[in-house]
Chain A
Amino acid sequence: MSKHRIKSVALEDDYADDYYDDDDQSGYVEDVGMTAEDQERLRVGTVQVRNTLGQGFASITDKEIQDALWHYYYDISKSVSYLKNKHTPSQSKQEKTRPAKAGSQLAAQVHHQAVKEPNIHHLLPSTAKDFFWDSPWLNIPLHRQAEIRVEPVFPRLGLLGGSSTGEGKMSKIAALAAKRRLKEKENEKQRVADTHTSGLPEDTASGLSKLRIATSHTLYPHKEHPLSSRHDLQSTSRIDQTQEPPPKGDALPPSREQGKDKRTEDSHQPNGSQSGANVADMRANPSMFARTLMISCNTAWPLSSRPPTLLPEPVISSFDFLKPSPDDIVLKAQNFKGSKTSTSSKQQKPAKAKESIINSMENLSVVEPETIKSKNLDVLAEYKKVERKNAANFVVIGHVDSGKSTLMGRLLFDLKAIDERTMEQYKEEAEKMGRGSFAFAWVLDQGTEERARGVTIDIASHKFQTERTSFTILDAPGHRDFVPSMIGGASQADFAVLVIDASPSEFEAGLRGQTKEHALLVRSMGVARIVVAVNKMDRTDWSKERFQDIQQQMLAFLTTAGFKSENISFVPCSGLQGDNILTRSRAPQAAWYNGPTLVEELDTSEPVNHALEKPLRMTLDDAFYDSVQNPFSVSGRIEAGSLQVGDQIVVMPSGIKTFIRSIRVDDEPSDWAVAGQNVILSLSITEADFDQINIGNMLCNPAFPVENVSSFTAKVLAFDHLMPMPLDVHKGRLHIPGRISRLAAVLNKIDDSVVKKKPQVVHPGSVARIVVELDEPAPIEAGRIILRANGETVAAGHLE
């Protein structure tokens, strides 16, 4: 908990009879972010408090106790005294201390008294004048005004990064400025009040209903909430204010409070039962704000003189604020606010105050005493709320020099994901190096070595959008030496585009080479759908026979590899010429093809469901120094779960714990991200720790980390002879040496029954259970693995 919370705790000590406002609401929200440890402590604490309180306080609910505990950091004695104070029916004391309340709190007080102690009505002032006798915005004597000036209208923008609501002395200049502002404000007040009066609708019922919403949501101050201490100072300053009757409808302070409360409300989901009580209560007693306004706009009908119970029923039932999510509340509140301020256009201070409160709320952490504050969003709810385009990653695979990069470069260019100028530049550079035909490939082959050699070495990713879907290309290298990085890319893919060189004899060469290996690999990694782009059709003069020949052979091969025939599609195209990629080929020889173009084919991809509910898992693709602001960044695709700014994460196998400072989803800043999204996270981590983070490491939720294992049993399909031998274990980006230590059994392919125990050697094509020992422990859990030895894929399977 941040220091804000501590301050508010101290305040609670001072005003021990402070009203229980929406604590239970905040408690409710905190439950969401509560760790199991917290909950356990709460449970134990509740029992202890109950014991200490004894029978006399049996009426106190568990919730209240827990809230008290939460706010006192499980300090039993403090919680008990707080609860005792709160529940002791010492009206006299309350009466005595109530004048010492901030005027803004009075409304809440009134409101809650009504909730908790219905019999207190007779104690309330019955006229508006009486009611507002201690209001702070009334005729404030001059000697008091100076004190009000120091209220945190603006966020204190400490150069040294102090929190905006932090306590601290104002500089002289700031104080002077505040003084000036306040004077202006004083002048404004009157004007505002005037415009306000005229601006409000005449229809009382609708006016009332609007007020209802405002009051019910936002008007009640939340004393326990981490409003700045200066705010409370200001409150105390109001205490001794003269008891003169209020001037008409000064809406300024309430709206200021409103801003604060709005923000407070934002971060807390309304509790159903509590708000129900609020509704009932509202009927009994309109808020002070409402009264004030009503008086100011419709003096003919003094609200305070009306019995509260006579308020029209429909109005009350209309403000059901349970439904909207916290964000909706924000929007609503902001809209309301906006409409209010629009009536008083010069009222800029409340807006600023709001900003400061936004900042302070953003800095508010409910989970960790760290510099990064979690917004404690319900990420899944956020995710479901927004209607978005389908997102899909696809990996581009195929034999070396089949034109994968060129095809994708062309695709990006045609879709205007690359601007003309950049393309021109690439062309120029490529010409200069004598590789004119590589210009499109350079869109993805950014590496110096890659360009010099004209070969893709590492996975390149690039984004583009079609009308239906937002795609991420993972352009894999085709060369056999770089199969490890191809595996890394394919592990992030939802489907695959297999590029085949249709030119004479190249297809056959490819089929023997990486065409086959890649297709097998992506299938073993769980990719179910494959689009076969038969490239370089221009070299075959768009021969239909050639295309059909390739189609037949590939279909036969891919179905044996385990792809379902309905998940295989073929597109004849030419990456260099751009035929059948975005637009249909204009070549007359290609007229025989009237199927979809490559982009159309891609667009038919169905969205893939990801394990959003599972604990966070993300294999790191890369770790790099990004920028001065966010030096330590890692990137990857979230495999399972979700994360948000401020979350604690642990990096396995090193076990380094760190916090997420910021998130970028597809290069756009975001507060959260879920499984399936490609993210760049910036971490709050020391450089020494960051240097230990390596590509292929696993990022997890600290509560459910991946175990480091040094050996595992796997069920694999052998592509080559398996015997106890050293090999590479690939799991996504992870790529580590190990060895088969034992061949446990050869299994029946259909029912997994043991065919032969302890075989000496496992033959290609058979399924076996093997034990793999790793040279060094690594974060491997259930999932698909690829085993390679001496540059060949020898087996693929999954952990048992």
Chain B
Amino acid sequence: MRLVKRHIEPDGSGSVTLYPEEPEDMVGASKVFFCAILTDALQWHAHNLIRPSDLLTASAIRRVTSESASTGSTSSHRVHVNLTIRVKSLDFDPQAGQLHVSGRVARENKHTKIGQHHTLDLELNRNFTLTKEVEGKDGEQGWDSVAKEQLEEATNPQKKAEIVAVVMEEGLANICFVTQYQTLLRQKVTMRVTRKRDGAKRSAKHDKGLEKFFKTVLDTLLRQVEGLIEQTEEAKTIPILLASPGFTAAGFLRYASERAFATSEKLLQSLVKRKAFIVVHSSAGHLYSLNQVLKSPEVRVKLKDTKYARETRLMNDFFEMLRKDDGRAWYGPKEVEAAVEEGAVGRGGGKLIITNSLFRNQDVATRRRWVRLVDRVRKESGGDVRILSSDHESGKRLEGLGGIAAILTYPIVDLGDPEEEQVAVVNGNDPP
């Protein structure tokens, strides 16, 4: 995303105009098909930037109904207008790849009245302007530190790093796309594979079932990769990780290679030819085993120094500290707030880890609570704040902990009141 205009007052109010575009190297012939829709990464940024009650100005197509004064007959036609809406909700469907921003019209023009509802779909290569306002002490905070950081991140062009991963076991395969911002489960394949039975030739059924399963997985995978290649040329070089316990992944690779030789599927042949498939180990075929896959050296090389890799490393560190239980690793909103209150998340290793889904909360007060916590750690205690993508595996692990965790500068044995029955789940947590 390119920053076209930035006008932010010291108090945080102001507007930003952004031009959503793909990096230069991604221009491809197939782009034609996808020009209207933002790519996953752009959507992800937009989703993080736009919050409820912001003002969003973007071009839109609106159906206008006009009534003739004399006869009362109506006619409707579609007009291209620039609409400004006050955002009410965001509907982000990462799997379908669509971001809908709905709200009510905030500025009147020829065709629309204030208060009318409209849902904007952000489009590629069309400017949009996002305005955040400050409303007193308890209201909106405008472009707070978190929002500014996210803006920076969105406008900082980074090379995309993508990986396709198939986490599988016999009878189950999860096909995922891993980008540096998010992990998308594109498709899940489940199929019963008959087990071996005793007696002669009984395992033939198992072999047959396994082959059928492999076929289905490969078909699905090729379809997904095809779609990816249409979207970005870069996809032609992405690696495909095959992860499984035991020999399932190896068996799948063998099946894919055999099929590449036996048939004339161009895509499959090119994948096999450039050795796109990499077999790695995972302990199960369930999606969360992706965590293990992403720890593998193959992925680490590929995603080295990306935001994603840092996040994963951070979470691993945190869990490691939690295991040690030396009083320096805490999680849960109440506990972390108490720790911040004590100033334990400060200079010299103090880290506040928070998932970005907390900032997407519908409730302004809740959002402000987290922004203030972040600001406090940053400005007062001097600690480090890491905002993790909830769309990533590491962010999901963090969400399991209540969306917030902290590594303290010094150990605290007991935080908060354990007698208090408070479920460690944030109210109104708004995962995508």
Question: Measuring CB to CB, which residues of chain A are less than 8 angstroms from any residue of chain B?
Answer: 422, 444, 446-450, 453, 457-462, 479, 481-482, 484, 621-625, 635, 691, 693-695, 721, 723-728, 735-737, 739-742, 756-758, 760-761, 763, 775, 788, 790-792
- Give the chain A neighbours of B325 by CB distance below 8 A: 721, 760-761, 763
Give the distance to chain A from B423, nearest Cβ to Cβ, in Å: 7
Taken together as a complex, chains A and B put the C-alpha atoms of A756 and B281 apart, in Å, by 37
Interface contact B198-A623, CB-CB below 8 Å = no
Interface contact A695-B195, CB-CB below 8 Å = yes
Considering only CB atoms, which chain B residue lies closest to A694 in the complex?
B192
A694-B190, A737-B284 are known contacts; what are 20 more A-B pairs with Cβ within 8 Å? Answer: A446-B196, A446-B203, A447-B196, A448-B207, A460-B198, A622-B197, A624-B194, A624-B195, A695-B192, A723-B319, A724-B424, A725-B319, A740-B400, A756-B418, A760-B331, A760-B332, A760-B335, A761-B323, A791-B245, A791-B283
- Give the chain A neighbours of B424 by CB distance below 8 A: 724, 742, 758
- Give the chain B neighbours of A691 by CB distance below 8 A: 192
| B259 is an interface residue with CB less than 8 A from chain A | no
Interface contact A693-B246, CB-CB below 8 Å = no
A-contacting 9-mer, from B110-118, B287-295, B297-305 = B287-295
Considering only CB atoms, which chain B residue lies closest to A691 in the complex?
B192
Interface contact B198-A462, CB-CB below 8 Å = yes
The 8 A-B residue pairs with the shortest CB-CB distance, nearest first, are A791-B283, A726-B288, A481-B245, A737-B286, A624-B194, A446-B203, A481-B246, A721-B323
- Give the chain A neighbours of B194 by CB distance below 8 A: 622-625
Count of chain B residues near A, Cβ 8 A: 48
Give the distance to chain B from A789, nearest Cβ to Cβ, in Å: 8
Interface contact A726-B247, CB-CB below 8 Å = no
Q: A457-B246, A482-B245, A484-B284 are in contact. Are A739 and B400 (CB under 8 A)?
A: yes
Interface contact B192-A623, CB-CB below 8 Å = yes
Residue among B190, B206, B251, B330 facing the most chain A CB atoms (10 A cut-off): B206
| B382 is an interface residue with CB less than 8 A from chain A | no
- Give the chain B neighbours of A449 by CB distance below 8 A: 247, 251
Interface contact A453-B247, CB-CB below 8 Å = yes
Give the distance to chain B from A765, nearest Cβ to Cβ, in Å: 13
Taken together as a complex, chains A and B put the C-alpha atoms of A691 and B207 apart, in Å, by 17
Give the distance to chain B from A794, nearest Cβ to Cβ, in Å: 11
| B202 is an interface residue with CB less than 8 A from chain A | yes
Q: Which of B283, B287, B423 contacts A481 (CB 8 A)?
A: B283
Give the distance to chain A from B322, nearest Cβ to Cβ, in Å: 5
- Give the chain A neighbours of B203 by CB distance below 8 A: 446-448
- Give the chain A neighbours of B332 by CB distance below 8 A: 760
Considering only CB atoms, which chain A residue lies closest to B210 in the complex?
A449
Residue among A450, A721, A724, A727 facing the most chain B CB atoms (10 A cut-off): A724
| B2 is an interface residue with CB less than 8 A from chain A | no
Give the distance to chain A from B70, nearest Cβ to Cβ, in Å: 61
Interface contact A725-B400, CB-CB below 8 Å = yes
Taken together as a complex, chains A and B put the C-alpha atoms of A723 and B329 apart, in Å, by 12
| B12 is an interface residue with CB less than 8 A from chain A | no
Q: A457-B247, A458-B195 are in contact. Are A625 and B400 (CB under 8 A)?
A: no
Taken together as a complex, chains A and B put the C-alpha atoms of A444 and B289 apart, in Å, by 30
Interface contact A757-B286, CB-CB below 8 Å = no
Taken together as a complex, chains A and B put the C-alpha atoms of A453 and B246 apart, in Å, by 11
CB-defined A-B contacts under 8 Å, sample of 20: A446-B197, A459-B195, A462-B198, A479-B246, A481-B281, A622-B197, A623-B192, A694-B190, A695-B171, A695-B192, A721-B322, A723-B322, A723-B331, A724-B401, A725-B319, A737-B284, A737-B288, A760-B329, A788-B283, A791-B245
Considering only CB atoms, which chain B residue lies closest to A759 in the complex?
B418
Q: Which of B206, B284, B322, B323 contacts A791 (CB 8 A)?
A: B284
Could you tell me which residues of chain B, from 171 to 199, have a CB within 8 Å of some CB in chain A?
Answer: 171, 190, 192, 194-199
Give the distance to chain A from B409, nearest Cβ to Cβ, in Å: 17
Considering only CB atoms, which chain A residue lies closest to B393 in the complex?
A726
- Give the chain B neighbours of A760 by CB distance below 8 A: 322, 325, 329-332, 335
Taken together as a complex, chains A and B put the C-alpha atoms of A723 and B318 apart, in Å, by 12
Taken together as a complex, chains A and B put the C-alpha atoms of A725 and B394 apart, in Å, by 11
| B25 is an interface residue with CB less than 8 A from chain A | no
Q: A446-B196, A453-B247, A622-B197 are in contact. Are A728 and B286 (CB under 8 A)?
A: yes
Give the distance to chain B from A719, nearest Cβ to Cβ, in Å: 13
- Give the chain A neighbours of B329 by CB distance below 8 A: 760
Give the distance to chain B from A336, nearest Cβ to Cβ, in Å: 42
- Give the chain A neighbours of B292 by CB distance below 8 A: 790-791
Could you tell me which residues of chain B, from 121 to 154, have a CB within 8 Å of some CB in chain A?
Answer: none
Considering only CB atoms, which chain B residue lies closest to A451 in the complex?
B203
Interface contact B331-A693, CB-CB below 8 Å = no
Taken together as a complex, chains A and B put the C-alpha atoms of A449 and B195 apart, in Å, by 12
Interface contact B397-A726, CB-CB below 8 Å = yes
- Give the chain A neighbours of B423 by CB distance below 8 A: 742
| B24 is an interface residue with CB less than 8 A from chain A | no
Give the distance to chain B from A85, nearest Cβ to Cβ, in Å: 57
Considering only CB atoms, which chain A residue lies closest to B169 in the complex?
A484
Could you tell me which residues of chain B, from 320 to 357, have a CB within 8 Å of some CB in chain A?
Answer: 322-323, 325, 329-332, 335
Give the distance to chain A from B405, nearest Cβ to Cβ, in Å: 10
B 263-290 binary contact with A (CB < 8 Å = 1; else 0): 0000000000000000001111011110
Taken together as a complex, chains A and B put the C-alpha atoms of A691 and B194 apart, in Å, by 11
Taken together as a complex, chains A and B put the C-alpha atoms of A422 and B425 apart, in Å, by 61
- Give the chain B neighbours of A624 by CB distance below 8 A: 194-195, 197, 205
Considering only CB atoms, which chain B residue lies closest to A444 in the complex?
B198
Interface contact B284-A625, CB-CB below 8 Å = no
Give the distance to chain B from A628, nearest Cβ to Cβ, in Å: 14
Considering only CB atoms, which chain A residue lies closest to B290 in the complex?
A726
Considering only CB atoms, which chain A residue lies closest to B192 in the complex?
A694
- Give the chain A neighbours of B199 by CB distance below 8 A: 446
Give the distance to chain B from A764, nearest Cβ to Cβ, in Å: 9
- Give the chain A neighbours of B245 by CB distance below 8 A: 481-482, 484, 791
Considering only CB atoms, which chain B residue lies closest to A758 in the complex?
B418
Give the distance to chain B from A654, nearest Cβ to Cβ, in Å: 12
Give the distance to chain B from A707, nearest Cβ to Cβ, in Å: 22
Taken together as a complex, chains A and B put the C-alpha atoms of A484 and B169 apart, in Å, by 11
Interface contact A737-B287, CB-CB below 8 Å = yes
Could you tell me which residues of chain B, from 192 to 220, have a CB within 8 Å of some CB in chain A?
Answer: 192, 194-200, 202-203, 205-207
Give the distance to chain B from A627, nearest Cβ to Cβ, in Å: 11
Considering only CB atoms, which chain A residue lies closest to B202 in the complex?
A446
- Give the chain B neighbours of A623 by CB distance below 8 A: 192, 194
Give the distance to chain B from A402, nearest Cβ to Cβ, in Å: 18
- Give the chain B neighbours of A725 by CB distance below 8 A: 319, 397, 400
B 231-252 binary contact with A (CB < 8 Å = 1; else 0): 0000000000000011100010
Considering only CB atoms, which chain A residue lies closest to B288 in the complex?
A726
Give the distance to chain A from B167, nearest Cβ to Cβ, in Å: 11
- Give the chain B neighbours of A721 by CB distance below 8 A: 322-323, 325
Could you tell me which residues of chain B, from 370 to 396, have a CB within 8 Å of some CB in chain A?
Answer: 396
- Give the chain A neighbours of B197 by CB distance below 8 A: 446, 622, 624, 635
Interface contact A446-B401, CB-CB below 8 Å = no
Interface contact B418-A482, CB-CB below 8 Å = no
Taken together as a complex, chains A and B put the C-alpha atoms of A621 and B197 apart, in Å, by 11
Considering only CB atoms, which chain A residue lies closest to B199 in the complex?
A446
- Give the chain B neighbours of A450 by CB distance below 8 A: 196
- Give the chain B neighbours of A460 by CB distance below 8 A: 196, 198
- Give the chain A neighbours of B284 by CB distance below 8 A: 484, 728, 735, 737, 788, 791
Taken together as a complex, chains A and B put the C-alpha atoms of A728 and B286 apart, in Å, by 8
Give the distance to chain A from B295, nearest Cβ to Cβ, in Å: 9
Interface contact A723-B401, CB-CB below 8 Å = yes
Taken together as a complex, chains A and B put the C-alpha atoms of A634 and B192 apart, in Å, by 12
- Give the chain A neighbours of B396 by CB distance below 8 A: 726
Interface contact B418-A458, CB-CB below 8 Å = no
Taken together as a complex, chains A and B put the C-alpha atoms of A741 and B317 apart, in Å, by 20
Taken together as a complex, chains A and B put the C-alpha atoms of A537 and B206 apart, in Å, by 35
- Give the chain A neighbours of B247 by CB distance below 8 A: 449, 453, 457
Interface contact B419-A757, CB-CB below 8 Å = yes
- Give the chain A neighbours of B190 by CB distance below 8 A: 694
Q: Which of A621, A727, A740, A756 contacts B195 (CB 8 A)?
A: A621
